[in-house]
Amino acid sequence: MNNRRVIVKIPASTANLGPGFDTLGMALSLYAWIELSVSDKTEFRYYGDQMNGLPGDKSNLIYKVAQLVFDEAGVTVPELSVSMYSDIPLARGLGSSASAIVGALVAANSLIGNPLSENKLFQMATRLEGHPDNVGASLFGGIVVSAWDGEQADYVRIIPHEKLEALVAIPAFQLETEKARHALPSQISMADAVFNVGRSSLLVAALACGELGIIRHAMKDRLHQSYRAALIPGMATILERAEEHGALGAALSGAGPTLIAFVEAGSPDKADLERFLLDTLQREGIEAETLWLLPCVHGPQVTVEDKETQPAVPLMDRIKGDIKV
Ligand code: HSE
Protein backbone atom coordinates (compact mmCIF):
# COMPACT_ATOMS: atom_id res chain seq x y z
CA MET A 1 0.00 0.00 0.00
CA ASN A 2 2.86 2.42 0.74
CA ASN A 3 3.99 2.16 -2.87
CA ARG A 4 0.58 2.67 -4.41
CA ARG A 5 -0.73 5.78 -6.09
CA VAL A 6 -4.45 5.72 -6.87
CA ILE A 7 -6.26 8.03 -9.30
CA VAL A 8 -10.05 7.92 -9.42
CA LYS A 9 -12.36 9.62 -11.95
CA ILE A 10 -15.89 9.99 -10.54
CA PRO A 11 -19.06 10.99 -12.41
CA ALA A 12 -21.45 13.77 -11.39
CA SER A 13 -25.09 12.88 -10.82
CA THR A 14 -28.60 14.24 -11.03
CA ALA A 15 -30.99 13.17 -8.28
CA ASN A 16 -34.77 12.80 -8.08
CA LEU A 17 -35.44 13.00 -11.86
CA GLY A 18 -38.62 14.84 -10.83
CA PRO A 19 -40.86 12.48 -8.86
CA GLY A 20 -38.24 10.10 -7.37
CA PHE A 21 -37.32 12.30 -4.42
CA ASP A 22 -34.32 10.81 -2.53
CA THR A 23 -34.73 7.65 -4.64
CA LEU A 24 -33.73 8.10 -8.29
CA GLY A 25 -30.32 9.16 -9.55
CA MET A 26 -28.47 9.20 -12.85
CA ALA A 27 -24.72 9.49 -13.38
CA LEU A 28 -23.70 12.18 -15.86
CA SER A 29 -20.69 12.72 -18.14
CA LEU A 30 -19.13 15.44 -15.99
CA TYR A 31 -16.33 14.39 -13.66
CA ALA A 32 -14.14 14.94 -10.61
CA TRP A 33 -10.70 13.38 -10.09
CA ILE A 34 -9.02 12.42 -6.82
CA GLU A 35 -5.44 11.20 -6.47
CA LEU A 36 -4.46 9.52 -3.22
CA SER A 37 -1.24 8.05 -1.88
CA VAL A 38 0.39 7.32 1.46
CA SER A 39 2.74 10.11 2.53
CA ASP A 40 5.11 11.11 5.36
CA LYS A 41 3.06 14.21 6.01
CA THR A 42 -0.56 14.96 5.04
CA GLU A 43 -0.77 17.42 2.16
CA PHE A 44 -3.53 18.61 -0.17
CA ARG A 45 -3.30 19.93 -3.69
CA TYR A 46 -6.47 21.42 -5.12
CA TYR A 47 -6.70 22.54 -8.71
CA GLY A 48 -9.26 24.94 -10.15
CA ASP A 49 -10.82 28.06 -8.62
CA GLN A 50 -13.83 26.36 -7.13
CA MET A 51 -11.67 24.45 -4.64
CA ASN A 52 -10.50 27.73 -3.06
CA GLY A 53 -11.36 27.83 0.60
CA LEU A 54 -11.70 24.09 1.13
CA PRO A 55 -9.83 22.93 4.26
CA GLY A 56 -6.21 21.94 3.65
CA ASP A 57 -5.84 19.97 6.89
CA LYS A 58 -7.15 16.78 8.40
CA SER A 59 -10.65 18.28 8.78
CA ASN A 60 -10.93 17.90 5.01
CA LEU A 61 -13.84 15.72 3.79
CA ILE A 62 -11.67 13.55 1.52
CA TYR A 63 -9.23 12.88 4.35
CA LYS A 64 -11.99 12.11 6.87
CA VAL A 65 -13.86 9.78 4.50
CA ALA A 66 -10.61 7.95 3.66
CA GLN A 67 -9.99 7.43 7.39
CA LEU A 68 -13.47 5.86 7.76
CA VAL A 69 -12.47 3.28 5.14
CA PHE A 70 -9.18 2.54 6.92
CA ASP A 71 -10.97 2.22 10.30
CA GLU A 72 -13.57 -0.12 8.80
CA ALA A 73 -10.81 -2.25 7.26
CA GLY A 74 -8.74 -2.21 10.46
CA VAL A 75 -5.66 -0.56 8.97
CA THR A 76 -3.79 2.59 10.00
CA VAL A 77 -2.84 5.17 7.41
CA PRO A 78 -2.51 8.50 9.23
CA GLU A 79 -0.71 10.54 6.56
CA LEU A 80 -2.02 10.99 3.02
CA SER A 81 -1.19 12.99 -0.04
CA VAL A 82 -4.44 14.15 -1.71
CA SER A 83 -4.89 15.93 -5.04
CA MET A 84 -8.26 16.87 -6.50
CA TYR A 85 -9.76 18.60 -9.50
CA SER A 86 -13.47 18.82 -10.28
CA ASP A 87 -15.52 19.94 -13.26
CA ILE A 88 -18.66 19.45 -11.15
CA PRO A 89 -19.82 22.84 -9.92
CA LEU A 90 -20.32 23.05 -6.14
CA ALA A 91 -23.75 23.37 -4.54
CA ARG A 92 -25.68 23.41 -7.84
CA GLY A 93 -27.55 20.09 -7.66
CA LEU A 94 -25.09 17.99 -9.66
CA GLY A 95 -23.87 15.82 -6.81
CA SER A 96 -20.48 17.44 -6.15
CA SER A 97 -20.42 16.34 -2.50
CA ALA A 98 -21.56 12.82 -3.41
CA SER A 99 -18.79 12.55 -6.00
CA ALA A 100 -16.21 13.67 -3.41
CA ILE A 101 -17.51 11.10 -0.87
CA VAL A 102 -17.64 8.29 -3.44
CA GLY A 103 -14.22 9.25 -4.83
CA ALA A 104 -12.65 9.26 -1.37
CA LEU A 105 -14.23 5.90 -0.44
CA VAL A 106 -13.19 4.20 -3.69
CA ALA A 107 -9.68 5.70 -3.70
CA ALA A 108 -9.00 4.80 -0.05
CA ASN A 109 -10.35 1.27 -0.50
CA SER A 110 -8.23 0.81 -3.60
CA LEU A 111 -5.13 2.11 -1.81
CA ILE A 112 -5.40 -0.74 0.72
CA GLY A 113 -6.26 -3.49 -1.80
CA ASN A 114 -10.09 -3.25 -1.89
CA PRO A 115 -11.02 -5.07 1.36
CA LEU A 116 -14.49 -3.41 1.43
CA SER A 117 -17.19 -4.50 -1.00
CA GLU A 118 -18.92 -2.08 -3.35
CA ASN A 119 -22.12 -2.57 -1.37
CA LYS A 120 -20.31 -1.67 1.87
CA LEU A 121 -19.05 1.53 0.23
CA PHE A 122 -22.62 2.30 -0.86
CA GLN A 123 -23.91 1.88 2.71
CA MET A 124 -21.15 4.16 4.02
CA ALA A 125 -21.70 6.76 1.29
CA THR A 126 -25.47 6.83 1.90
CA ARG A 127 -24.99 7.38 5.62
CA LEU A 128 -22.48 10.16 5.01
CA GLU A 129 -24.64 11.93 2.41
CA GLY A 130 -27.96 11.33 4.21
CA HIS A 131 -29.72 9.98 1.11
CA PRO A 132 -28.76 7.33 -1.46
CA ASP A 133 -29.72 8.93 -4.79
CA ASN A 134 -26.60 10.90 -5.75
CA VAL A 135 -24.05 8.57 -4.17
CA GLY A 136 -25.67 5.50 -5.76
CA ALA A 137 -25.47 7.04 -9.22
CA SER A 138 -21.85 8.18 -8.77
CA LEU A 139 -20.80 4.80 -7.35
CA PHE A 140 -22.56 2.43 -9.75
CA GLY A 141 -23.07 4.59 -12.85
CA GLY A 142 -26.17 4.59 -15.05
CA ILE A 143 -29.58 5.11 -13.44
CA VAL A 144 -29.85 3.93 -9.86
CA VAL A 145 -33.15 3.31 -8.05
CA SER A 146 -32.53 3.14 -4.32
CA ALA A 147 -34.29 3.21 -0.98
CA TRP A 148 -32.81 3.80 2.47
CA ASP A 149 -34.49 3.22 5.83
CA GLY A 150 -31.78 4.88 7.88
CA GLU A 151 -29.96 1.56 8.33
CA GLN A 152 -29.87 -0.28 5.05
CA ALA A 153 -29.80 1.04 1.48
CA ASP A 154 -31.02 -1.22 -1.33
CA TYR A 155 -30.69 -0.48 -5.01
CA VAL A 156 -31.27 -1.64 -8.56
CA ARG A 157 -29.26 -0.26 -11.46
CA ILE A 158 -30.79 0.47 -14.86
CA ILE A 159 -28.74 0.94 -18.00
CA PRO A 160 -29.83 4.23 -19.60
CA HIS A 161 -31.38 4.20 -23.05
CA GLU A 162 -28.61 4.79 -25.61
CA LYS A 163 -30.47 7.76 -27.14
CA LEU A 164 -30.98 9.66 -23.91
CA GLU A 165 -29.20 13.03 -23.71
CA ALA A 166 -29.40 15.67 -21.00
CA LEU A 167 -29.26 19.44 -21.13
CA VAL A 168 -28.39 21.12 -17.85
CA ALA A 169 -28.82 24.83 -17.17
CA ILE A 170 -26.54 25.66 -14.25
CA PRO A 171 -27.35 28.99 -12.57
CA ALA A 172 -24.37 31.05 -11.43
CA PHE A 173 -25.62 31.08 -7.83
CA GLN A 174 -25.13 28.31 -5.29
CA LEU A 175 -27.95 26.72 -3.29
CA GLU A 176 -27.06 24.61 -0.27
CA THR A 177 -29.00 21.33 -0.14
CA GLU A 178 -29.86 21.98 3.49
CA LYS A 179 -31.60 25.24 2.58
CA ALA A 180 -33.52 23.56 -0.25
CA ARG A 181 -34.58 20.74 2.11
CA HIS A 182 -35.78 23.26 4.68
CA ALA A 183 -38.23 24.60 2.11
CA LEU A 184 -40.10 21.28 2.17
CA PRO A 185 -43.19 20.63 4.28
CA SER A 186 -43.05 17.98 7.01
CA GLN A 187 -46.35 16.45 5.86
CA ILE A 188 -48.07 15.99 2.52
CA SER A 189 -51.52 14.87 1.48
CA MET A 190 -52.41 11.29 0.53
CA ALA A 191 -53.39 12.61 -2.93
CA ASP A 192 -49.89 14.05 -3.49
CA ALA A 193 -48.24 10.88 -2.18
CA VAL A 194 -50.30 8.76 -4.58
CA PHE A 195 -49.48 11.18 -7.42
CA ASN A 196 -45.74 10.73 -6.82
CA VAL A 197 -45.85 6.97 -6.33
CA GLY A 198 -47.61 6.74 -9.69
CA ARG A 199 -45.26 9.10 -11.55
CA SER A 200 -42.09 7.69 -10.03
CA SER A 201 -43.13 4.09 -10.75
CA LEU A 202 -44.06 5.02 -14.31
CA LEU A 203 -40.71 6.76 -14.77
CA VAL A 204 -38.69 3.78 -13.52
CA ALA A 205 -40.65 1.44 -15.79
CA ALA A 206 -40.23 3.79 -18.77
CA LEU A 207 -36.47 4.11 -18.17
CA ALA A 208 -36.07 0.36 -17.67
CA CYS A 209 -37.99 -0.49 -20.84
CA GLY A 210 -36.62 2.39 -22.92
CA GLU A 211 -40.08 3.89 -23.45
CA LEU A 212 -38.86 7.44 -23.93
CA GLY A 213 -42.30 8.72 -24.97
CA ILE A 214 -43.71 8.02 -21.49
CA ILE A 215 -41.13 10.22 -19.77
CA ARG A 216 -43.19 13.37 -20.37
CA HIS A 217 -46.11 11.89 -18.41
CA ALA A 218 -43.85 10.51 -15.69
CA MET A 219 -41.50 13.42 -14.86
CA LYS A 220 -44.10 15.24 -12.78
CA ASP A 221 -43.78 15.84 -9.08
CA ARG A 222 -45.79 17.13 -6.13
CA LEU A 223 -43.37 16.34 -3.29
CA HIS A 224 -40.60 18.88 -3.61
CA GLN A 225 -40.28 20.95 -6.79
CA SER A 226 -43.15 23.40 -6.22
CA TYR A 227 -41.96 24.05 -2.63
CA ARG A 228 -38.48 24.86 -3.94
CA ALA A 229 -39.69 27.05 -6.82
CA ALA A 230 -39.28 30.31 -4.88
CA LEU A 231 -35.56 29.54 -4.50
CA ILE A 232 -35.07 29.13 -8.26
CA PRO A 233 -36.72 31.93 -10.26
CA GLY A 234 -37.73 30.67 -13.71
CA MET A 235 -37.97 27.03 -12.62
CA ALA A 236 -41.75 26.80 -12.70
CA THR A 237 -41.93 28.10 -16.30
CA ILE A 238 -39.16 25.76 -17.45
CA LEU A 239 -40.79 22.71 -15.89
CA GLU A 240 -44.17 23.65 -17.32
CA ARG A 241 -43.06 24.44 -20.85
CA ALA A 242 -39.85 22.50 -21.63
CA GLU A 243 -41.83 19.84 -23.52
CA GLU A 244 -43.20 22.48 -25.91
CA HIS A 245 -39.53 23.07 -26.82
CA GLY A 246 -38.72 19.43 -27.54
CA ALA A 247 -37.83 18.03 -24.10
CA LEU A 248 -38.84 14.48 -23.21
CA GLY A 249 -39.22 15.81 -19.69
CA ALA A 250 -37.58 18.29 -17.30
CA ALA A 251 -36.86 18.50 -13.59
CA LEU A 252 -35.00 20.33 -10.91
CA SER A 253 -31.64 18.53 -10.68
CA GLY A 254 -31.35 17.28 -7.10
CA ALA A 255 -31.97 20.11 -4.69
CA GLY A 256 -31.14 22.65 -7.42
CA PRO A 257 -30.57 25.25 -8.60
CA THR A 258 -29.58 23.38 -11.81
CA LEU A 259 -32.42 22.43 -14.14
CA ILE A 260 -32.19 19.33 -16.30
CA ALA A 261 -34.09 18.45 -19.47
CA PHE A 262 -33.85 15.19 -21.39
CA VAL A 263 -34.00 14.84 -25.16
CA GLU A 264 -33.69 12.01 -27.62
CA ALA A 265 -30.34 12.04 -29.49
CA GLY A 266 -30.68 13.69 -32.88
CA SER A 267 -33.67 15.81 -31.83
CA PRO A 268 -33.99 18.85 -34.13
CA ASP A 269 -35.17 20.92 -31.12
CA LYS A 270 -31.92 20.98 -29.13
CA ALA A 271 -30.95 24.56 -29.96
CA ASP A 272 -34.50 25.83 -29.32
CA LEU A 273 -34.65 24.05 -25.95
CA GLU A 274 -31.30 25.46 -24.88
CA ARG A 275 -32.37 28.99 -25.87
CA PHE A 276 -35.66 28.57 -23.99
CA LEU A 277 -33.91 27.56 -20.76
CA LEU A 278 -31.36 30.37 -20.97
CA ASP A 279 -33.92 33.03 -21.96
CA THR A 280 -36.34 32.00 -19.21
CA LEU A 281 -33.63 32.22 -16.55
CA GLN A 282 -32.27 35.45 -17.99
CA ARG A 283 -35.73 37.08 -17.84
CA GLU A 284 -35.60 36.40 -14.10
CA GLY A 285 -32.15 37.98 -13.90
CA ILE A 286 -30.43 34.59 -13.47
CA GLU A 287 -27.13 34.06 -15.25
CA ALA A 288 -26.65 30.45 -16.24
CA GLU A 289 -24.37 28.15 -18.18
CA THR A 290 -25.75 25.27 -20.27
CA LEU A 291 -24.02 21.94 -20.90
CA TRP A 292 -25.09 19.00 -23.02
CA LEU A 293 -24.29 15.80 -21.13
CA LEU A 294 -24.81 12.09 -21.57
CA PRO A 295 -25.78 9.56 -18.94
CA CYS A 296 -22.53 8.04 -17.67
CA VAL A 297 -22.93 4.27 -17.75
CA HIS A 298 -20.08 3.40 -15.39
CA GLY A 299 -19.06 4.30 -11.86
CA PRO A 300 -15.59 5.50 -10.81
CA GLN A 301 -12.68 4.59 -13.08
CA VAL A 302 -9.67 3.65 -10.99
CA THR A 303 -6.00 3.69 -11.99
CA VAL A 304 -3.49 2.16 -9.61
CA GLU A 305 0.22 2.88 -10.08
CA ASP A 306 3.41 1.75 -8.43
CA LYS A 307 5.23 4.84 -7.11
CA GLU A 308 8.62 3.13 -7.44
CA THR A 309 8.35 2.31 -11.11
CA GLN A 310 5.85 4.89 -12.40
CA PRO A 311 6.98 8.50 -11.97
CA ALA A 312 4.61 11.04 -10.45
CA VAL A 313 2.73 13.13 -13.01
CA PRO A 314 0.93 16.28 -11.74
CA LEU A 315 -2.82 15.59 -11.69
CA MET A 316 -3.62 18.39 -14.14
CA ASP A 317 -1.11 17.08 -16.70
CA ARG A 318 -2.58 13.63 -16.34
CA ILE A 319 -6.20 14.70 -16.98
CA LYS A 320 -5.76 17.73 -19.24
CA GLY A 321 -7.24 16.07 -22.35
CA ASP A 322 -10.23 14.96 -20.32
CA ILE A 323 -11.40 18.08 -18.49
CA LYS A 324 -14.13 20.46 -19.57
CA VAL A 325 -12.13 23.72 -19.94
N1 HSE B 1 -32.72 14.09 -3.08
C2 HSE B 1 -31.97 15.18 -2.57
C3 HSE B 1 -32.86 16.40 -2.46
C4 HSE B 1 -30.83 15.48 -3.48
O5 HSE B 1 -33.63 16.64 -3.37
O6 HSE B 1 -32.78 17.11 -1.45
C7 HSE B 1 -29.92 16.53 -2.92
O8 HSE B 1 -28.73 16.51 -3.60
What pLDDT is stored for residue 325 in this prediction?
A: 63
What pTM value is reported for the model? 0.96
For the chain, the structural domain boundaries read 4-159+297-319, 164-293
pLDDT tens-place string over residues 273-314: 999 999 999 999 999 999 999 999 999 999 999 999 998 899
Q: Mention every residue, 6+ apart, whose C-beta is less than 8 A from residue 214.
A: 202, 203, 205, 206
Cβ 253 under 6 angstroms from ligand 1: no
The Å distance, Cα 253 to ligand 1 centre, comes to 8
Cβ 111 under 6 angstroms from ligand 1: no
Is it true that domain 4-159+297-319 has CATH number 3.30.565.10?
A: no
**Distance in Å from the first CA to the final CA of the chain:** 33
Cβ 16 under 6 angstroms from ligand 1: yes
pLDDT tens-place string over residues 106-148: 999 999 999 999 999 999 999 999 999 999 999 999 999 999 9
- Looking at domain 164-293, its CATH architecture is 2-Layer Sandwich (3.30)
- The count of residues in the chain is 325
Between the alpha carbon of residue 150 and those of residues 68, 121, 129, 140, 154, the distances in Å are 18, 15, 11, 20, 11
The Å distance, Cα 145 to ligand 1 centre, comes to 14
Helix or strand (DSSP H, E) at 32: strand 24-38
